[in-house]
Amino acid sequence: MRFRFCRDLDCPNWILPEISTLAKIYEKILKLTFDAKFEHAAGLCWSYEEKQSPLQDSWRTRSLRLNHLDAVSWRVDQTLSSSELQQVSEPLVHLKFTMREGD
């Protein structure tokens, strides 16, 4: 059985050795990146284990904190007609959120 290339054409002779070379390079790249990821993950785990309690305390105080809303007000500005303007623009909505002090 022959190797087919580009719509059932015969593959040029120089491509087959190149495919083999690329496969070897790819295997080496996979090995290097896998080793690098493993060493990186081990470093993160070690750092986390060493500082687990202080990190968790810090995350508890800083995460999932929502600002408290005191009030919401809104206003719609719309010009129905004007003798000064040639074209009347669309309505404009103003929203105002008032947050509680100290948050």
H-type alpha helices, 51-101 = 52-62
Q: How much is the pTM? A: 0.32
Please work out, in degrees rounded to the nearest 5, the angle formed at the alpha carbon of residue 43 by the alpha carbons of 37 and 49: 135
| Among candidate residues 89, 71, 70, 72, the one with its CA nearest the CA of residue 80 | 89
pLDDT of residue 13: 76
pLDDT surpasses 90 at 80: no
What pLDDT was estimated at residue 4?
A: 60
Nearest to 74 by CA among 92, 94, 91, 98: 94
Which whole number is the average pLDDT over 24-43? 73
Confidence of residue 82 (pLDDT cuts 50, 70, 90): confident
| Rg of the chain on CA atoms, in Å | 33
